[in-house]
Amino acid sequence: MVAEGWSRRGFLAAGAASGLLLSGCGAGRDSRPRLRVSITGKGEGDTRLLFKAAGIAAKGFDLRYSEFQSGHLVVEALNGGSLDYGGMSEIPPIFAAASTIQSFRQIAVTHGDVNNQVVLVPKGSKARSIADLKGKRVGYVRATTSQYFLIRMLEEVGLGWDDITPVAMGVSDGAAAFSQGSLDGWAIYGFPIQRAVATEGARILRTAYGILSGNYLVSAHVDALADPEMSQIIREYLALVQQAFGWAAAHQDEWAGIIAQDIGVPRDYVVDQFRRKSASYELRPVTDAAIASQQQVADLFFAQKLLPKAVDVWPLWDKRFNDSIPKRG
């Protein structure tokens, strides 16, 4: 079942539906080199939006962005050669490591908030803890942090995967199902949380604080890493991202207003999320601790029989950019 769900054909079909190349971001102007970068989600996760707000622009190279609904589609795009640089959680690369194709390496860690990964319940729900979801329909996004933290939350209260009715669906389908009352709970991340709380009266049952590491992985295609010019561009882009994170940390109120407008919710809801967040985003170098954290996640997925074989994540990592990631401002 896992192998079928993660077949290359299935990934490419999903990618065609969910990975949208943005207009105006084609070949580099005047034959300048071009870095193909992923964007997952809106609001705080949209680097384009952050760069524009912070007044940051690439120099000497162009950026071509592609949109994806989840990290496993980013991994598939990297493996398919249509991306040079992508971000995802610790989990999608684990499934790639269990397959025969890993055309990327994990080159840095974006460390950030885990309180924006939650289990939501609809307005009027009587659930007061994860234990109250026993026997209920709970949506999640397969092979992402939402599946991982949902498993861990169930374990904390003595429940297993079979004690709920898990419903795997993409972000947009999950939002529709939750809005229509088809789900008793929804394990989800990012801007859909604020939207559901603001517009539908949803309530956060539990955040992923204490479960997730806060590590989100930066990956690059092996061909880009092998090319000296592209490798230098990646080095420069990492510095720009860190600069942008510094701006966001120093301009929280302004950034909250920009995000609220982007995702279509009142500003107060984003301000509240910022007040509750566990950490501000920053780039960090690859460390043994970061690698061990991903290995722990891989071991749990294997123990849950969600992987066809045990996975060693160490070969996925590359420390070559460690000495060029600046401190966040």
Cβ distance 160 to 98 under 8 Å? no
Give the residue among 102, 97, 22 at the shortest CA–CA distance from 62. 22
pLDDT exceeds cutoff 90 at 15:
no
What is the mean pLDDT of the segment spanning 251-274?
Answer: 93
152 and 130 inside one domain: yes
Residues with Cβ within 8 Å of 70's Cβ and at least 6 positions away in sequence, in order, are: 18, 40, 88, 92, 141, 144, 170, 171
Please indicate whether residue 276 or residue 13 has the higher confidence score (pLDDT): 276
Domain membership flag for residue 133: yes
In the listed set 172, 207, 242, which residue is the last one of a domain according to the structure?
207
pLDDT exceeds cutoff 70 at 20:
no
Phi-psi region of 43 (alpha: psi -120 to 50; beta: other; left: phi over 0): left
In the listed set 207, 224, 243, which residue is the last one of a domain according to the structure?
207
The pLDDT of residue 41: 85
102 and 237 inside one domain: yes
d(CA 106, CA 313): 10
176 and 93 inside one domain: no
In the listed set 174, 207, 240, which residue is the last one of a domain according to the structure?
207
The pLDDT of residue 3: 34
The pLDDT of residue 179: 96
The pLDDT of residue 143: 85
Domain membership flag for residue 182: yes
What is the mean pLDDT of the segment spanning 163-190?
Answer: 96
Cβ distance 165 to 137 under 8 Å? yes
Residues with Cβ within 8 Å of 59's Cβ and at least 6 positions away in sequence, in order, are: 236
Cβ distance 322 to 285 under 8 Å? yes
Quickly tell me which residue has 């990618």 as its tokens: 15
Domain membership flag for residue 27: yes
Burial annotation 66-82 (CB, 10 A radius, 16+ → b, else e): bbbbbbbbbbbbbbbeb
What is the mean pLDDT of the segment spanning 129-157?
Answer: 96
Residue-averaged pLDDT of the chain: 90
CATH number, domain with residue 130:
3.40.190.10
Percent of the chain surpassing pLDDT 90: 81
pLDDT exceeds cutoff 80 at 9:
no
Quickly tell me which residue has 């309530």 as its tokens: 203
Whole-angstrom CA distances from 282 to 242, 271, 292 are 6, 19, 19
- Domain hosting residue 74, numbered range: 2-112+214-324
Angle among Cα 29, 32, 35 to the nearest 5 degrees reads: 100
96 and 228 inside one domain: yes
Q: pLDDT by residue (tens digit) across 49-64?
A: 999 999 999 999 999 9
Using only C-alpha atoms, what is the Rg of the chain? 19
Residue 307 amino acid letter: L
106 and 30 inside one domain: yes
Domain membership flag for residue 233: yes
130 and 155 inside one domain: yes
Give the residue among 277, 286, 219 at the shortest CA–CA distance from 252. 277
Domain membership flag for residue 329: no
Q: Mapping DSSP to helix (H, G, I), strand (E, B) and coil, where does residue 84 land?
A: coil
15 and 95 inside one domain: yes
Percent of the chain surpassing pLDDT 70: 91
Q: pLDDT by residue (tens digit) across 302-311?
A: 999 999 999 9
168 and 247 inside one domain: no
Q: pLDDT by residue (tens digit) across 67-124?
A: 998 898 999 999 999 999 999 999 999 999 999 899 999 999 999 999 999 999 999 9
Cβ distance 90 to 213 under 8 Å? yes
Number of folded domains that form the chain: 2
Confidence band of 190 (pLDDT split at 50, 70, 90) = confident
DSSP 252-300: HHHHHHHHHHHHTS-HHHHHHHHHH-S---EEE---HHHHHHHHHHHHH
284 and 308 inside one domain: yes
Going edge to edge, which strands form the sheet with 117-121? Answer: 165-168, 137-140, 185-189, 117-121, 203-207
Q: Mapping DSSP to helix (H, G, I), strand (E, B) and coil, where does residue 242 land?
A: helix
Q: pLDDT by residue (tens digit) across 204-253?
A: 999 999 999 999 999 999 999 999 999 999 999 999 999 999 999 999 99
104 and 125 inside one domain: no
Cβ distance 94 to 298 under 8 Å? yes
Token pair recorded at residue 274: 């910022």
177 and 39 inside one domain: no
Please indicate whether residue 162 or residue 30 has the higher confidence score (pLDDT): 162
The pLDDT of residue 27: 47
141 and 106 inside one domain: no
